[in-house]
């Protein structure tokens, strides 16, 4: 059955791309993954992605297609762990030339990649939405954010100024220029949480403000967040109107007398520990993303378009395993 499946994939690939059968320079297992990624990208491109990167010029149908560009980018990053565009192009030139004989120069390849930011954004969102695991607890969500660093806070940020600014990461104890990646993720028993949505904001954006704007209307949900999401008045209204409960570690009350603080200390510590234990897996989710895609270090990005491809291309590469 496996041989038949592989042959069907190969036949579909060659029919779709009009290539003759190549003598592959990659192992058979990786070859199958390459074909699967290409077929998935082609299917998504025909359905939705093409509308996010349409060209209105004489070169509206290039010989080296957008599907091929995205396939090389995602395959090299996900399977080969090559995170820089130059490394990706070099690998494709050395090992995938038989599959992609029309591979352009590095400069042209880099330019083509930078035009596909919206396509990668849509691909990441659709992949996550389509392949949500069955074991997700859809009434329980975990919240957190992580920095996407374009340069340290000791220097002035000069990249993508229209979408980045200076912020502080309390986990690392550093100031930095860049973006903040926010995650709303379904809880999964004994597994990494699965993202329901990712949101990008400038680094200075407060996590609570983003929650109110993007996720404040979600109903019938229990959220677990850290102390930044503490707002008793707002979440009391949410609980009454939308049956949405926010649980965070207990935040110290400014000006509270010592006697009251000591009286409640044990209960508060137990509650805070319980909440932190539930939401800890989302920190593991971010660590997994960093390990798989090196998403946090964006210091080599030089443009706004490049930064969008950097973030959403890596999210797509991380979750492309769902189709494999």
User: Looking at residue 52, what is its pLDDT?
Assistant: 87
Residue-averaged pLDDT of the chain: 88
> Which of the residue ranges 16-30, 257-271, 278-292, 297-311 would you say has the lowest mean pLDDT?
16-30
Q: Please indicate whether residue 18 or residue 187 has the higher confidence score (pLDDT).
A: 187
SS3 annotation, 13-49: HHHHHCCCCCCCCCCHHHHHHHHHHHHHHHHHHHHCH
**Which residues have C-beta within 8 Å of that of residue 92, sequence separation ≥ 6?**
72, 76, 100, 103, 109
pLDDT in tens, 80-122: 999 999 999 999 999 999 999 999 999 999 999 999 999 999 9
Per-residue pLDDT tens for 166-189? Answer: 999 988 889 999 999 999 999 999
What is the average per-residue pLDDT within 39-66?
Answer: 86
Q: Which residues are bridge partners to 178 per DSSP?
A: 149, 165
> How far is it, in rounded angstroms, from Cα 61 to Cα 55?
8
Q: What are the distances in angstroms from CA 245 to CA 206, 229, 252?
A: 19, 11, 20
Rounded distance between C-alpha atoms, residue 205 and residue 159, angstroms? 18
| Strand 137-152 relative to strand 244-247, pairing | unpaired
Residues 6+ apart with CB under 8 A from 3: none
**Averaged pLDDT, 233-251:** 92
Residue 1 has pLDDT above 50, yes or no: no
Give me the DSSP letters along 242-283: H-EEEE-PPPPPTT--HHHHHHHHHHHHHHHHHHHHHHHHHH
The pLDDT of 139-147, averaged and rounded, is 96
Q: What is the mean pLDDT of residues 230-249?
A: 92
Q: How confident is the model at residue 15 (pLDDT cuts 50, 70, 90)?
A: low
More confident residue, 59 or 13: 59
Pairwise pLDDT comparison (321 vs 206), residue with the higher score: 206
What per-residue confidence (pLDDT) applies to 24? 59
Q: Three-state DSSP class for 139?
A: strand
* 275 Rama class: left (phi>0) / alpha (psi -120 to 50) / beta: alpha
pLDDT tens, residue by residue, 221-238: 999 999 999 898 999 999
Q: Return the domain boundaries, the chain.
A: 2-115, 136-299
Q: Quick one: average pLDDT of 64-77? A: 95
Q: Can you give the pLDDT at residue 143? A: 96
């Amino acid at each position: 059955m496996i041989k038949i499946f592989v042959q069907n994939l190969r036949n579909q690939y060659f029919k779709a791309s009009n290539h003759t059968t190549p003598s592959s320079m990659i192992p058979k297992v990786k070859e199958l993954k390459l074909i699967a990624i290409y077929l998935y990208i082609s299917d998504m491109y025909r359905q939705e992605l093409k509308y996010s990167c349409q060209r209105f010029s004489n070169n509206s149908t290039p010989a080296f297609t957008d599907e091929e560009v995205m396939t090389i980018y995602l395959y090299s990053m996900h399977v080969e762990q090559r995170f820089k565009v130059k490394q990706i192009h070099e690998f494709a030139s050395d090992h995938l030339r038989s599959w992609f004989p029309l591979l352009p120069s590095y400069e042209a390849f880099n330019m083509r990649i930078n035009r596909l930011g919206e396509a990668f954004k849509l691909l990441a969102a659709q992949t996550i939405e389509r392949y949500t695991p069955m074991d997700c607890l859809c009434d329980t969500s975990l919240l957190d954010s992580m920095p996407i660093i374009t340069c340290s806070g000791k220097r002035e940020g000069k990249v993508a100024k229209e979408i980045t600014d200076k912020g502080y990461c309390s986990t690392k104890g550093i100031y930095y220029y860049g973006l903040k990646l926010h995650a709303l993720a379904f809880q999964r028993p004994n597994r990494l949480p699965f993202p329901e949505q990712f949101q990008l904001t400038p680094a200075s954006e407060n996590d609570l403000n983003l929650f109110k704007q993007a996720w404040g209307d979600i109903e019938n949900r229990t959220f677990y967040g850290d102390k930044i999401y503490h707002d008793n008045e707002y979440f009391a209204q949410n609980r009454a109107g939308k049956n949405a409960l926010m649980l965070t570690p207990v935040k110290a009350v400014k000006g509270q007398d010592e006697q009251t603080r000591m009286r409640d200390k044990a209960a508060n510590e137990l509650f805070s520990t319980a909440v932190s234990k539930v939401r800890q897996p989302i920190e593991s989710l971010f660590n997994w993303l960093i390990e798989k895609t090196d998403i946090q270090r964006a210091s080599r990005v030089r443009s706004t378009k490049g930064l969008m491809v950097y973030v959403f291309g890596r999210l797509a590469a991380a979750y492309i395993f769902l189709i494999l």
